[in-house]
Amino acid sequence: MDSGAADALFEMPATSAGGRGRPAPPPGETCRNDRGDVHVLDRPEHDSELQAVHGWFEIFGRTPELIGDAVEDAIYYVLDGARTHRFDIRDERVDSDERRSIGTKLQFHVIENFELPRLRHPDTEVAGVGLEIKGTIGGNWAVPKEGQCGVTLLIRLDLERDRHKAWLMRTHRAWLRDGANNDGKRGVLANALRAYAVELYGWEPLRPNPLKMLEPADLDVVFGDAGQQPRLTHLFRTLPQVVIPRAVILTVCANRDDPMRRVRAIRPLVRPFGLELLCGKWPAQRELAEDLGFDLTGAAWVAVPAPDLDGYGPLSEQVRAEVE
């Protein structure tokens, strides 16, 4: 499903025909889930557990950034660029099963990024409340029987536009579709999402993979037959002042020995072009890069104009000593 169709799914009016347009039972009505539990539906603002989880994410801060990092890590994991040279999840070499597995990998990376406990059912716990984590690259999520009527973090990825969005919702059985898949999992009713989900944050952009910014001729060089050093040199020359994550380096140098050492070795090769390479592995370089507006967390790299290293006193002196 393309992003436009998926957007339309959540904008469908309550009067539309079919399961997607079925009205969601309102608060006050009874919900019976597939486990046989019976309870009364409540509005999200009156749901103390959902509000506790929402408040926890607000206090924690950086929620869009940390979930965005988790999304990127899940995509890099599925692409497995260090072995395959793949760098675009829409590449025809990435099959549909691999794309679907992003949601599963995303769950683990969210738990890791927020330093949450990893549980079996539910997936984790926040503010003393069990929390399911579900991601989708399509128009809906697959809520299992054990996740029905629990508080759920719903993350949607729009791979066409490189963006993500998240809600918190108590995924009551009454607010899920009647039709289940072969595993007994059910999607969220569009009308229930609109009326009873709490938006955690709106659409946020994913950082573009730098390799997707290259022209075809440059890709031919970067993935050509030359050695690692000339190919990496061309990458940084072509994309100055663009953060190059470690995963991108591993993709370019797939199946080669010690690619990180090769990057360090090209520092003299980019200097004739007026550039210096900074790496987030070293605290001083990471700090100076941050002052210049670049986030080098995760041992990322960036090529900056050589004069930009000056003007920061002892920090500049330390970085100059490290890169020479």
DSSP-derived letter for residue 143 is: B
Beta carbons of 170 and 47 less than 8 angstroms apart: yes
Helices (H), the chain: 3-11, 48-60, 63-79, 81-84, 96-113, 190-196, 216-222, 228-238, 246-252, 259-265, 267-270, 283-291, 314-323
Tell me: the pLDDT tens digits for 275-307?
Answer: 999 999 999 999 999 999 999 987 899 999 999
- Average pLDDT, whole number, for the chain? 88
Beta carbons of 111 and 125 less than 8 angstroms apart: no
Examine the pLDDT at 36 and tell me if it is beyond 80.
Answer: yes
pLDDT band at 99 (very low <50, low <70, confident <90, very high): confident
| Angular region, 111: left φ>0, alpha ψ -120 to 50, beta rest | alpha
Nearest of 115, 137, 133 to residue 62 by alpha carbon: 115
Neighbours of 285 (CB within 10 A): 23
Tell me: the pLDDT tens digits for 120-131?
Answer: 889 999 999 999
Q: Compute the distance between CA of residue 198 and CA of residue 195 in angstroms, rounded to an integer.
A: 9
Q: What is the pLDDT of residue 148?
A: 95
Q: What is the pLDDT of residue 123?
A: 94
- Give the lowest-confidence range in 27-31, 261-265, 273-277, 299-303: 261-265
pLDDT band at 89 (very low <50, low <70, confident <90, very high): confident
End-to-end CA distance of the chain: 50
Q: What is the pLDDT of residue 213?
A: 93
Q: What is the pLDDT of residue 14?
A: 34
Q: What is the pLDDT of residue 238?
A: 97
The number of residues in the chain equals 324
Examine the pLDDT at 104 and tell me if it is beyond 70.
Answer: yes
Q: Compute the distance between CA of residue 272 and CA of residue 222 in angstroms, rounded to an integer.
A: 19
In three-state secondary structure terms, 158 is strand
